[in-house]
Amino acid sequence: MLNKYARAFFTRVLTPFAAFLIRRGVSPDTVTLIGTAGVVVGALAFFPRGEFFWGTVVITLFVFSDLVDGNMARQLGRSSRWGAFLDSTLDRVADGAIFGGFALWYAGQGDNDVLCAVSIFCLASGQVVSYTKARGESIGLPVAVNGLVERAERLVVSLVAAGLAGLHAFGVPGIDVLLPVALWIVALGSLVTLVQRVVTVRREAAEADAGQPNPPSGRGALGGENAG
């Protein structure tokens, strides 16, 4: 839902800024790299210290680079496989930093092993959810399902909750409970999404294999190409 509506809205809003960067000679790859670096710094410099409000502010300023770089590529007519690969890869880095920052807080000053584990689960499940779609598509399947919680939903739910929870430091009582609630929501939503995608890939694979006499297994001695 967020990908369908919010992305279209912000794309229109950010188009003039993307055009400005193009006139200044900035490349889409540069925007991608700077945006990811900003998210990583914001997450790992602020979240482990419990400074959720300012960390969210910094991350939000840079997270829109995910829309700006694609907008620039389209305006330049330079959409490429390399750009798509770089963008997708660095998205995983940014997501890891955000949930890793939450985990470091709860492992340290936050002193909550359960929420530390939930944060780590959010990090890992988000990576696997993305992998299932990419892997399914790489073996020729459409993976015709998005699922309950995609990357946009994971980021919006967790970052909005973190930003609001950070207002506790400014004297707003009881609001810090929003972050734990959001992490549980993201964790459960990611699990549902993972199941949805696995079930879809299994069904599509069975249908594809039924029309193929000797389908390739894609499995090696150590469990496939990604065993390492």
pLDDT at 118 over 70: yes
Contacts for 186 with CB less than 8 Å, ≥ 6 apart: 122, 126, 149, 153, 154, 157, 158
Q: Are the CB atoms for 59 and 5 separated by under 8 Å?
A: no
pLDDT at 107 over 70: yes
What mean pLDDT do residues 113-140 have? 95
Name the residue type at position 114.
Answer: V
Phi, psi of 122 (to 5 degrees): -60, -45
Q: Which of residues 56 and 2 earns the better pLDDT score? A: 56
What mean pLDDT do residues 218-224 have? 47
Contacts for 135 with CB less than 8 Å, ≥ 6 apart: 201, 226
C-beta atoms surrounding 26 within 10 Å: 16
Q: Are the CB atoms for 99 and 42 separated by under 8 Å?
A: no
pLDDT at 27 over 70: yes
Name the residue type at position 175.
Answer: I
What pLDDT is attached to residue 219?
56
Question: Residues 150-190: pLDDT tens digits?
Answer: 888 999 999 999 999 999 999 999 999 999 999 999 999 99
Q: Exposed e or buried b for every residue in 115-142, given b needs 16+ CB within 10 A? A: bbebbbbbbebbebbbebbebbeeeebe
Residue 29 bears catalytic tag: no
What pLDDT is attached to residue 136?
93
Length of the chain: 228
Residue 129: closest CA among 88, 162, 101:
88
Following CA atoms 33, 39, 44, 45 in sequence, which dihedral angle do they give, to the nearest 10 degrees? 100
Distance, in Å, from the CA atom of 136 to the CA atom of 81, rounded to the nearest integer, reads: 18
Question: Residues 29-83: pLDDT tens digits?
Answer: 999 999 999 999 999 999 999 999 999 999 998 988 878 888 898 888 877 888 8
Q: Exposed e or buried b for every residue in 92-107, given b needs 16+ CB within 10 A? A: bebbbbbbbbbbbbbb
From the candidates 91, 111, 113, 209, which is the catalytic residue? 91
